[in-house]
Structure 1
């Protein structure tokens, strides 16, 4: 997936404290912008479930 471009949320602060994501064939990678070596790999379905949970507010109690 090295050709895929990392994307940052439009809600991210200018000080690089955010999560970046890139999507490839059959995989999604997430990384911490201030520590790019810290990466998580997951499936598109699992990532979609995470986004649905965030949008529904299911994880707000962790904030």
Structure 2
């Protein structure tokens, strides 16, 4: 059985330095394109909460110079 293809944001353009996402067996999988063997798996609910937190600035303090 073939796994679904990895997807990256259209904002990444032709860059290979990006985060890729796919859904497998009801879980969200994420990987960094240049570290393809390292995969993080989570539920759709947790991934949605993470994305909302990122949009809301919850992690801004982790940025350099913050």
TM-score with structure 1 length normalisation?
Answer: 0.82
Q: 1:33 aligns to what?
A: 33
Structure 1: gaps (5+ residues): none
Looking at structure 2, the residues matched to 8 and 32 of structure 1 have their Cα atoms a distance apart, in angstroms, of 10
Matches within 5 A, 1:45-56: 45-56=45-56
Structure 2: gaps (5+ residues): none
How far the C-alpha of 1:14 sits from its partner, in A, is 3.5
How far the C-alpha of 1:13 sits from its partner, in A, is 5.7
Q: Tell me which protein shows more helix as a share of its residues.
A: 2
Q: Paired residues, what number? A: 63
Between structure 1 and structure 2, the one with the greater Rg is 2
Q: Tell me which protein shows more strand as a share of its residues.
A: 1
Please list every run of at least 4 consecutive aligned residues from structure 1 whose deviation after the TM superposition is greater than 3 angstroms. Answer: none
Looking at structure 1, the residues matched to 61 and 9 of structure 2 have their Cα atoms a distance apart, in angstroms, of 21
